[in-house]
Amino acid sequence: MATVLYITANPHDDEKSYSMLVGKEFIHAYRSANPNDEVIHLDLYETDIPQLDKDVFSGWGKLKEGIAFENLTDSEKMKVGRIGQLVDQFVAADKYVFATPIWNYSYPPVVKSYIDSICIAGKTFKYLPDIGRVGLLSDKKAVHIQASGSFLSSGSDDAELEMAHRHLKVIMDFVGVPSFEGIFVEGMAAKPEQEPAIKEKAIQQAREVASRF
């Protein structure tokens, strides 16, 4: 049995959000193909994700010096402990499904905060003296479902402006995830007359990818 971490970052539900709609279809198809697997939905808008702030860096510094976790301040314990929970959940999963919208050429800020919480040395990557950085999640796979009103995927005229899927690919490489692909729901604002066809194409792609994920 595999564990799928379904990570969404949209304040809207699947009736108003294309990324959430296609994500819902993906998960439904995945569950049909893998009825014994566990799917955990992590809604980043309903999740406590600490910012990397003074308390976090101070707490990490104290732990590195050998100070016990119990001796951190209350704020340090709360934030450092929560980041530990998030990265442990990420490491424990076998597969990742991200569903995000494009806002101003990138994803919502909450996604970056989450990424910061799971890029932890010793948990998802490490540095070796003669090799350098090594990702530790080499047995995982990931899919990114991304919705945008304009055309931003590879091959489009504005592909170089896109900073979400490309960044997530860098992060998956960083932590060692060897299999990463994208499903793009795009162009609804640029070509509103094609909106139904765009949506249906993305749903069909999501079902196909889910069946072999």
Dist. CA 118–CA 106, nearest whole Å: 19
Cα 146 to chain centroid distance, Å, stands at 11
Closest to 73 measured CA to CA, from 84, 62, 89:
62
Reduce the DSSP state of residue 160 to 3 states and report it: helix
Q: Is 18 annotated as a binding residue?
A: yes
**How many CA atoms are closer than 13 Å to the CA of 5, on its beta-carbon side?**
19
Question: Helix H segments across 98-182?
Answer: 109-118, 165-174
Binding residues for FMN: 17-19
- The annotation places the binding site at 17-19
